[in-house]
Structure 1
Amino acid sequence: AMVGASANEVRPSFFVMKYLIDKGYRVIPVNPGQAGKDILGQKVFARLADIPEAIDMVDVFRASEAVPAIVDEVLTLTPLPKVIWTQLTVRHDEAARKAEAAGIQVVMN
C-alpha cells in the first residue's frame, strides 16, 4: 500500500507507483482526497483499514510528522504488514521503534 499516493504526474509518489507497477508489483494507493477514484488503474482507498486484503508493505509518502498516526493505523491491521518504508527525508524514530516492537521491519529516509 502506498500512503500519500498522488494522481499528479510530477509528484514522486506517482512515478514511484508507476515504476513499481511496471516492475510487476501490486500497489494499492491510499489518499483520502482521491478515495474511490483510480490512480494508474488502481482503486484508491481513504485509509489502510479500508483495503480488503492483507498488506505486505506500507510505503509512506507523507511528512515526518504524519508517521506516528500512520504507524498507529498500521498496528490495527490484521495481519500486520511485514515492512513500513518511508521515503527520503521522512523519518520519525519514536514511531519506528513502536512499529519494530510489534515485529514490523522499518526502513526510513
Structure 2
Amino acid sequence: MSFENPSREEIKQILLNAGNIAVVGLSDKTDRTSYMVAQALQSNGYRIIPVNPTVSGEILGEKVYASLSDIPEPVDIVNVFRRSEQTPPVAEEAVKIGARVLWLQLGIFNEEAYEIAAKGGLTVIMDRCIKVEDSILIGKRS
C-alpha cells in the first residue's frame, strides 16, 4: 500500500466528529510539545485522554493510562507523540481498541504502522500536527 494523507476536507470531518482523543506519549512537563498540543485541543473542546506508562495520576486534569488498552471508554483518535520506529505497536493497540483514526504527529512517519492501522480499518494521518490542522480547519469553537 502506498500512503497518502486524507484530504483537508476529510481531516476536517474527522476533527468535527471527534470526541475522545487519546494522546500517546503525552508528557506532564508543560514545556513539551505534546503537553502544549493536548492543552490547545482540550481548550478547543476535545476530550484528551493521556497515555503514558511513566506518569501516574493526572495530566491536564485527566486520568493517565499506561496503555490504550487500559482506557475504559471509546477512543476516536489515537494521537501519537512517539518516535517513528515505536509506532507499529501503537497501531496494533489502536486497532485492538477499535479507534477510528491513527494520527502520527508532525515528523512521525511509519509505513508499517500505516499498514497495520489501515488493514484494521482505521483512517491514518501521518506527519501532521493535529493542533495546526484543528486551527486551520476548525478554528476556535464557541
TM-score band, normalised by shorter chain: over 0.9
SS of the equivalent of 1:76 reads helix
Tell me which residue corresponds to 2:34. Answer: 13
Partner of 1:94: 112
Residue by residue over 1:5-46, the C-alpha shift from the partner in whole angstroms, topping out at 9 and shown as x without a partner, is: 0111111000011001100100000000113x1111011000
Distance 1:52 1:94 in 2: 27
Which of 96, 104, 107 matches 2:122? 104
The corresponding residue for 2:86 is 66
User: Which structure has the larger Rg over C-alpha atoms?
Assistant: 2
Give 3-state SS (helix, strand or coil) of 1:8's partner: coil
Question: Counterpart in 2 of 1:83?
Answer: 101
- State the structure with bigger RCO (CA 8 A, min sep 6), 1 or 2: 2
State the TM-score, normalizing by the size of structure 2: 0.72
**What is the distance in 2 between the residues matched to 1:94 and 1:38?**
31
For 2:108, the aligned partner's letter is V
Superposition pairs of residues 14-29 of structure 1, within 5 angstroms:
14-29=35-50
| C-alpha separation in 1, matches of 2:103 and 2:48 | 14
SS in 1 for 2:47: coil
Runs of 4 or more off by more than 2 Å in structure 1? Answer: none
Larger mean CA deviation between 92-101 and 14-23 belongs to: 92-101
Q: TM-score, normalised on structure 1?
A: 0.94
Q: Quote the offset at 1:104 in angstroms.
A: 0.3
Q: Residue 98 of structure 1: CA displacement? A: 1.8
Unaligned 5+ residue runs, structure 1? Answer: none
Aligned residues: 106
